[in-house]
Amino acid sequence: MHEYAFFLGCIAPNRYPGCEASAIKTSEKVGIKLLPLCGASCCPAPGAFGSIDLNIWYAMAARNVVLAEQMDRDIALICNGCYKSIYEVNHILKHNDELRDGVNEVLKEIDMEYKGSIDVWHLAELYYDPKICGVDKIRESVSRPLTGTKIAVHYGCHLMKPRKERHFGDTDHPMWIEELVAALGAEPVQYRNKMQCCGAGGGVRGFDLEHSLDITNEKMINLQEVGADALTEVCPFCQLQYDRGQVEIEEKFGIKYGLPVLHFNELLGLAQGMSPDELALDLHAVDVTPFLEKIL
């Protein structure tokens, strides 16, 4: 069993608890144990918080990392926004003495010290990594293949970009999440401008909702074009933007898409035989039933 401190973030535990539940259950079936990271906070939101003062963003993210250092476990998480904060701040502080000293000066006030002793991973990359799990193990864990469904993938921005500060390689046409989706028995579909942002990040969703939804709408048009049965992603904030965003797009622009949006963990949960009730899919704003009818 590979053990990790499970960093939850905000939107997964507080809006889509199915993402959290499925992460814990699906990972156990492939040899990954997620331990609760008690007292963790918001990562904090890189766009909303980092825009105001990057120094506070470093210190707040470092506090979360220190909690995992105290457990002596690497962090695993399920949200791209959290990845941006936790992975990147950990990476920066490991290599920048000046910033690390500044952060530690603040953390001293609450009896903490950032040491730089752990690493940070997205659960999806652990699923893909053959040293930890790998596509084959994911395929073997499937008891209810998603045969006959066409699934589009939204990678999101902050997991793989900026490329130079990550380790995923190609950010123009990545295919690794499609490999994971195919392992569930579904057919991954390609669509125009796959790597475009969902529109929610950088505080734009809160600053100018219509602008942000217009970006989402462009993606929805491209997704509709290829007839996907569902969209999957690895970021609850992207999920919120696509899921609740479709309701807002209907209100504001009068266009209805009805495309079910599922976190990859939820999709994996369904493929491993979890019931829709165990995933709280009724909390999704867009009805997931048309997709479920194809697989149940």
Partner 1 sequence: MAREKDYGNPSLEAKLKDRYYYSDDTNRDFTKEVEKIGRTIAHMCYQCGTCTGSCPSAPRSSYRIRLFMRRAVLGLEEEALTDPDLWLCTTCYSCTDRCPRDIAPTDVIMAMRNLAARRDIVPRNFLKTVQAIYTTGHGVPNNDVNRAARVKLGMDAEPPTTCGFPEYIEGIKAIIDHYGLKDRADKILSEGE
Q: Which residues of this protein are in contact with partner 1, per CB under 8 A? A: 8, 10-11, 13-15, 17-18, 20-21, 36-42, 44-56, 59-60, 63, 106-107, 109-110, 112, 157-158, 161-164, 171, 195-197, 199-204, 206-208, 211-212, 214-215, 218, 277-278, 280, 282-283
Q: Which of 97, 30, 92 is nearest to 268 (CA)?
A: 30
Instruction: Kindly tell me which of 118 and 204 has the beta carbon lying closer to partner 1.
Output: 204
User: How many degrees, rounded to 5, is the angle at CA 12 between CA 122 and CA 165?
Assistant: 30
**For partner 1, which is the closer residue by CB, 61 or 132?**
61
CB of 25 to partner 1, least distance (A): 10
Name the DSSP letter for residue 84.
Answer: I
Nearer to partner 1, 60 or 228 (CB): 60
**Nearer of residues 165 and 225 to partner 1, judged by Cβ:** 165
Minimum CB–partner distance for residue 277 and partner 1 (Å): 8
Q: How far apart are CA 7 and CA 86, in angstroms?
A: 9
Dihedral Cα 234, 235, 239, 245, nearest 10 deg: -140
Min separation Cβ 223 and partner 1, Å: 15
Shortest Cβ 152–partner 1 spacing (Å): 17
Between 113 and 136, CB nearer to partner 1: 113
The smaller minimum CB distance to partner 1, of residues 29 and 158, is found at: 158
Q: Long-range contacts of range 244-251, CB-CB < 8 Å, 24 or more positions apart?
A: 244/285, 245/198, 245/199, 245/200, 245/212, 245/213, 245/216, 246/220, 246/285, 246/286, 247/285, 247/286, 248/209, 248/213, 249/213, 249/216, 249/217, 249/220
Q: Is the distance from CB of 205 to CB of 126 less than 8 angstroms?
A: no
Closest CA to 39 of 82, 2, 71: 71
Least distance CB 68 / partner 1 (angstroms): 13
To the nearest whole angstrom, how small is the minimum distance from the Cβ of residue 252 to partner 1? 14
Which helix (H) or strand (E) segment holds residue 289: the answer is helix 289-295
